[in-house]
Amino acid sequence: MIRIAVVDDHHAVRLGLEAMLTAEPDMEPVGAAATAAETWPLLYRTAPDVVLVDYRLPDLDGLTVCQRIKAAPPAPAVVLHSAFADDGLTVAALVAGADGVVHKGAPGRDLAEAIRTVAAGARSLPALDPELVRAGAEVLDGEDLPILGMLLHGTSRDEIARILHLDAPALQARLADMLGALRARPIEPALESA
């Protein structure tokens, strides 16, 4: 049974997700939080395998919540749930440590598959447009590009830390800086030329 916790500030969405997850034979919704602040008590109480985090929350954004959840091992898998078909989100999600990104408008089947994929330890991210990756690389500090490269390649954080001779908090700080840079200059896909 895959145990899933939901963090979303819309009551209707929480109810809808609970119903959808209950209907899946291999999934069990174990609780929901409406704010970032409630997320940690929820995680401590339910110890889920997967957490679905809304990208927009009233008190803290979903990327930061994701980053903080992943900073404390053993962390559950995190799937960012976005109402915006925002491809630029994927690079930031990668840096924040998300295991998956699913668009809220996608069919329930997509979300269920993403949950199964991340629960098994793999990633479920939308295909990354090379343009977006290039745009992301442009806003980042040169020293951080190897980290982005390794994240794109699927290298685990432990491996990255080992390769760069960083301890966990140091890598965490670098990732936080990278996230800050990506947020300050959001990536727009390059416009088609006329």
Partner 1 sequence: MSIPLKAGVMIADDHGLVRDGLRVLIDAAPDLEVVSVAGDGIAAVERALDPRVHLAILDVAMPRRTGLQAARELARRRPELRILMLSMHDVDEYFLEAVKAGASGYVLKTVADRDLVEACRAALRGETFIYPGTVRALLREHLERAADADDGSDVLTAREQEVVKLVAEGHTSEEIAQALVISPRTVERHRENVLAKLGLRNRVELTRYAIRQGLVEP
Choose, by CB under 8 A, the member of 15, 23, 37, 173 that binds partner 1: 37
Query: Which tokens in the block code for residue 64?
Result: 């930061």
By beta-carbon proximity to partner 1, the closer residue of 23 and 47 is 47
Q: What is the number of alpha carbons within 13 Å of residue 15 lying toward its C-beta?
A: 3
Minimal distance, residue 55 CB to partner 1, in Å? 22
Burial of 66 (0-12, 13-18, 19+ CB in 10 A): buried
Helix axes 62-71, 168-184, angle to 10 degrees: 170
Query: Which tokens in the block code for residue 163?
Result: 């390769």
44 lies in the binding site for partner 1 (CB under 8 A): yes
114 lies in the binding site for partner 1 (CB under 8 A): no
Report 53-112 residues binding partner 1 (CB under 8 A). 73-77
Closest CA to 26 of 123, 124, 117: 117
Minimal distance, residue 86 CB to partner 1, in Å? 28
Distance CA 36, CA 55 (A): 11
Distance CA 164, CA 77 (A): 24
45 lies in the binding site for partner 1 (CB under 8 A): yes
H/E element, 100: strand 100-103
25 lies in the binding site for partner 1 (CB under 8 A): no
Segment interacting with partner 1 (CB under 8 A) among 5-13, 30-38, 142-150, 164-172: 30-38
By beta-carbon proximity to partner 1, the closer residue of 85 and 168 is 168
Choose, by CB under 8 A, the member of 5, 7, 27, 33 that binds partner 1: 33
x-or-dash pattern for partner 1, window 152-191, by CB under 8 A?
----x-x---------------------------------
Distance CA 145, CA 66 (A): 21
Choose, by CB under 8 A, the member of 27, 29, 46, 90 that binds partner 1: 46
Closest CA to 146 of 165, 124, 169: 165
Site residues (vs partner 1, CB under 8 A)? 33, 37-38, 40-42, 44-47, 49, 73-77, 121, 156, 158
